[in-house]
Amino acid sequence: MKKSVIVWLCAVLMSVSAYAQSIPAAKVPSPVKKTLMTKYPKASEVEWEKVGTSYLAMFSNGYDWTEATFSATGVWQKTAVNMDPEKLPAALAQTVKKGNPNFEISSVIRKDVAAGPPTYEIILDGETESYTAIYKADGTLVSKVKAEEEEYEESDSDEGDY
């Protein structure tokens, strides 16, 4: 269960780092930093990356690890919040559990975008298989994809490398 989360997080980090470049805060435009602090006043431990023409801030926001993307002029574009599964809205948690009775919610990422309602990317772990499901806040299932078998094999052989 936790192995699939680790594999997933590694895949996300590797995909971002493939075209992202870490930069010091001094090289981040002041409108970007100002928008970050206005939108997320509790942001701490901020690390910056430049992805194309956008700026990605990775930070602690209370108890949740958060990634927010901004344009070079400081316009907020999107946010991904790694949430504790216990913080999932009750109605959504009930819908997910009802539709997936033999699975445990092991990871939740809330994704907010400038032009639309949030979605929730939920990792569902069962005894022999895992799924990544995307839900709207109202409980509507957007997509559900089975984790590939290779992910389990890789994580078993790489155990201890993390």
* pLDDT exceeds cutoff 70 at 9: no
Instruction: Please tell me the distance from the alpha carbon of residue 93 to that of residue 51, in angstroms, as a whole number.
Output: 33
The answer to the question of residue 160 being in a domain is no
**Residue 11 confidence (pLDDT):** 52
Nearest CA among 124, 122, 126 for reference residue 134: 122
What is the CATH number for 61? 3.10.450.360
The count of domains in the chain is: 1
* 159 falls within a domain: no
Please say if the pLDDT value at position 143 is more than 80. yes
Does the residue 9 lie in any domain?
Answer: yes
Torsion of Cα atoms, 12 then 16 then 17 then 23, to 10°: -130
Q: What is the pLDDT of residue 16?
A: 46
| pLDDT, average across residues 54-62 | 94
Region for 3 from its dihedrals, namely left if φ exceeds 0, alpha if ψ lies in -120 to 50, beta otherwise: alpha
pLDDT-based confidence at residue 149 (cuts at 50, 70, 90): low
Find the domain containing 116 and state its range. 2-152
- Find the mean pLDDT for residues 97-120: 94
pTM as predicted = 0.75
